[in-house]
Amino acid sequence: MIHYKNTKAFAQEMDANDPLAKYRKQFHFPDFHEKEVIYFTGNSLGLQPKKARTMMNEEMDDWARYGVEGHFMSRRPWYAYHEFFSEKAARLVGARPDEVVMMNSLTTNLHLMMVSFYQPSGQRNKIICEGKAFPSDLYALESQVRFHNLDPDQTIIELHPREGEHSIRKEDVLATIAEHADELALVMIGGVNYYTGQVFDMEAITKAGHDAGAFVGFDLAHGAGNLHLKLHDWGPDFAVWCSYKYLNSGPGSISGAFVHERHHKNEELTRFAGWWGYDKTTRFEMKKGFRPIPSAEAWQLSNAPVFAMAPHLASLELFDEIGMEALRKKTRLLSGYLEFMIDELSEKAEGASFEIITPRDWKQRGCQLSVLAHGMGKNLFNYLNDHGAIVDWRDPNVIRMAPVPMYNSFTDVYRFGQILEGALKHLGKSTLAKEV
Ligand SMILES: *Cc1c(COP(=O)(O)O)cnc(C)c1O
């Protein structure tokens, strides 16, 4: 194990030995701030890869040059634009290329997947999800339940941590699934909880859900580009993710969907269909009667929104070049360094402390650490922000921060520690000195 040190020299040495350090230069860092920012909100909106603008301009140029003929004549023909993503997106989430498709936005895809994979029948109508799920997921679940004329309160079963704990225990997840085996229609969980940063054991949950006779799906908004996923082997029925958080593809950008191959030939599956999911060889005969493409593409409704997708292509090229294994390796070191820094400062604090609510085991977390700032209010957040540390605050006192392996450095973490220490002194919470 690494012996971390709270020194500039240590951070610089880690950066010098970091094989991914060179990628930092390929991103734009916000410069509206007086100081050089420490950007720890890649879990919320990833930074812009410099290549994104180039790819976007190429599409603009081709639109100007070709008009409608760009569907076939542009350098990346638009009629099959989504196909340029299949292999890269598949490698990113550990799937086969025909199991993934980039389309729509995340919540839209969650709905489309639930139309197919939430099929309540008789007493088998319950959904298990995590408590404190992301609000959009909650609303999607509630409204899907209502769509089937059921009552959300009677139908949705939430998983919660035990009293005094912050993470949901795996044994409790599995026990809840087993307990409701006779009435379970769907298990739908965020692979990484957005609030605590806890990573769930997706393989075990999939197996338990299937053993109970239910479908299993994951929302990987905080998982894609953060974890080393193996969706095909783990075997969930579906997964969805967005591309603007860890995947650095721009605000509201395109979303991904995974449908396991076992469902590709099932033409009976209920779905909401559109012409871009129709068998490619006969699509332009424009006939009645939907004939699904035997792949995840069958869930596509519309032709590709090229301008939302171009930045994602630029971003996926970087992920593909580096690979999730290397990214994950650095995540372990980088989040470990931040954890060390926060623990050390918590010890120096007086009348205040930092409590990390993200699991300590690196296998149960990704880049994000969520920290309860006891004895400190929003002043702490304001101080951090004013000093160039861009983190995320959730009332009443949780700070979420995510150093990401593609563009953050160990020196970022060191500098963050310096600012955090300054904040403790400024707020009169440090044993070292009351004033800076
Ligand atoms: C970010 C996030 C969303 C956002 O949904 P959009 O449809 O992209 O606005 C939904 N669910 C989870 C779990 C998220 O983290």
Give the sign of the dihedral formed by CA 317, CA 323, CA 329, CA 332.
Answer: positive
Residue among 105, 137, 255, 368 to mutate when testing ligand 1 (max atoms within 8 A of CB): 137
Per-10-residue mean pLDDT, the chain, length 436: 94 98 97 89 98 98 98 96 97 98 98 98 97 92 98 97 96 98 97 96 98 98 98 98 98 98 94 94 85 96 96 98 98 98 94 95 97 91 94 90 98 97 90 57
Q: How many CB atoms lie within 10 A of CB 433?
A: 10
Tell me the CA–centroid distance for residue 194 and ligand 1, in Å: 9
Nearest-10 Cα torsion for 338, 339, 345, 347: -170
Confidence (pLDDT) at 433 = 57
Q: Could you tell me how far CA 408 lies from the centroid of its own chain?
A: 17
Q: Is the Cβ–Cβ distance between 45 and 244 less than 8 Å?
A: yes
- For residue 27, the cross-strand partners are 49
Confidence (pLDDT) at 429 = 83
Task: Report the atom number in ligand 1 closest to the C-alpha of 107.
Answer: 7
Report how far residue 83's alpha carbon sits from residue 317's, in angstroms, rounded to the nearest whole number: 14
Q: Is the peptide bond before 120 cis (omega within 30 degrees of 0)?
A: no
Backbone angles phi, psi at 261, to 5 degrees: -55, -25
Report how far residue 367's alpha carbon sits from residue 402's, in angstroms, rounded to the nearest whole number: 5
End-to-end alpha-carbon separation of the chain, Å?
34
Q: Is the Cβ–Cβ distance between 331 and 315 less than 8 Å?
A: no
Question: Measuring from atom 15 of ligand 1, which residue has the nearest CA?
Answer: 221
Tell me the CA–centroid distance for residue 127 and ligand 1, in Å: 19
Question: Measuring from atom 2 of ligand 1, which residue has the nearest CA?
Answer: 221
Confidence (pLDDT) at 435 = 47
Question: 282 exposed, middle or buried (CB, 10 Å; 0-12, 13-18, 19+)?
Answer: exposed
Q: How many CB atoms lie within 10 A of CB 253?
A: 26
Confidence (pLDDT) at 436 = 43
Domains annotated for the chain, with CATH where assigned, are: 8-32+323-435 (3.90.1150.10), 55-322 (3.40.640.10)
Tell me the CA–centroid distance for residue 111 and ligand 1, in Å: 12
Which residues form the pocket of ligand 1, taking CB atoms under 6 Å from any ligand atom?
105-107, 134, 136-137, 190, 194, 219, 221-222, 242
Structure tokens, 373: 């700032």
Task: Report the atom number in ligand 1 closest to the C-alpha of 252.
Answer: 8
